[in-house]
Amino acid sequence: MPANAFPFDPERFFRGRMAGHGGRVGIEYRTSGEDWAELALPYSHDLIGDPESGVLASGPILAMMDMATSVAVWSKLKLFVPHATLDLRVDYLRPATPGKTVIGRGECYRLTRSIAFVRGQAHDGDPDDPLAHVAGTFMAPDGYR
């Protein structure tokens, strides 16, 4: 086990994490599996990027996908290992529908000694009608294993 790592329980992790940016924008834990995790971003006035249409800003969706893909890495490892986002690309396929909760699913599809490769999608009710697609990498300074 790398230094600073400890067993990862996503539900417990989010219960203790309502402070900070994730808590302020209202990101919630939904569910997770072998190498993936799903988070939710309920619609809120505080997250609007375009007051005329009421459409959410792109930032909160990126923040959720950063966290969903990060949790996917820890889910795959079954360990919390400190790591940092190296890069993240988001394609905004369509605007999120005003009033609807956005669901973000992140997946870790490849893990090396120090780099995790991730991808994910966000939707607002129908997973076959995604509103964002992401791809990125994380790095663990002390290694993942």
- Site residues (CB under 8 A) for other proteins? 19-22, 24-25, 45-51, 56-60, 62-64, 66-67, 82, 84-92, 95
CB of 44 to other proteins, least distance (A): 9
Q: Which is nearer to other proteins, 58 or 114 (CB)?
A: 58
CB of 38 to other proteins, least distance (A): 17
In whole angstroms, give the CA distance from residue 62 to residue 16. 22
CB of 1 to other proteins, least distance (A): 19
Q: Which is nearer to other proteins, 62 or 73 (CB)?
A: 62
Q: Which is nearer to other proteins, 11 or 87 (CB)?
A: 87
Q: Quick one: tokens of 65?
A: 């996908």
Q: Which is nearer to other proteins, 60 or 107 (CB)?
A: 60
CB of 91 to other proteins, least distance (A): 5
